[in-house]
A and B are shown apart, each in its own frame.
Chain A
Amino acid sequence: MRVNYLLDGERHELSVEETDDLAELCRLVEKGLRAAHTELAGAPHLAEKVADGLLNSLSTDADEADLGELA
Chain B
Amino acid sequence: MAVAGVHVRTNINVVARANVYSANEIVRIFYEVVSDVGLNVTDLAETQPVIEKGLRAWLAMRKLEAAYLEVFDPATNVVRCRTDLNIVYTSDTNERHRTDIDRVKTATGALGRYPGCKYRVVVSLADGAPDVGGWDTTTLGSVDHLTKRDVGDVIDTAAVRSRMFTWS
Could you tell me which A residues sit within 8 Å of B by CB distance?
A: 1, 18-23, 25-27, 44-48, 51-52, 54-55, 57-59, 61, 63
Residues of B within 8 A of A (CB): 5, 7-9, 11-13, 15-17, 19-20, 53-54, 56-57, 60-62, 130-133, 159
- The answer to whether A55 touches B53, judged by C-beta atoms less than 8 angstroms apart, is no
Chain B nearest Cβ from A69, distance in angstroms:
15
Instruction: Give every chain A residue within 8 A of B15 (Cβ-Cβ).
Output: 20, 22, 58
CB distance from B115 to the nearest CB of A (A): 36
Distance from A70 Cβ to chain B, minimum over Cβ atoms (Å): 14
Q: A61: which of B13, B53, B56 is its contact (CB, 8 Å)? A: B13
Pick the contact of B53 from A18, A44, A48 — CB < 8 Å?
A48
- Quick check: A18 and B5 within 8 Å, CB to CB? yes
Most central of A44, A59, A63 by chain B CB within 10 Å? A59
- Measured between beta carbons, the chain B residues less than 8 angstroms from A19 are 8, 12
Q: Do A48 and B9 contact each other (CB < 8 Å), given the known contacts A22-B19, A55-B16? A: no
Task: Tell me the dominant secondary structure on chain A's binding face.
Answer: helix
Q: Is the CB of A26 within 8 A of B60?
A: yes
A54, B53: Cβ atoms closer than 8 Å: no
Q: Is the CB of B133 within 8 A of A58?
A: no
When distances are taken between beta carbons in the complex, the residues of chain A under 8 Å from B130 are: 45-48
Which residues on B sit within 8 Å (CB–CB) of A20? 7-8, 11-12, 15
* Bound-complex Cα distance A8 to B58 (A): 26
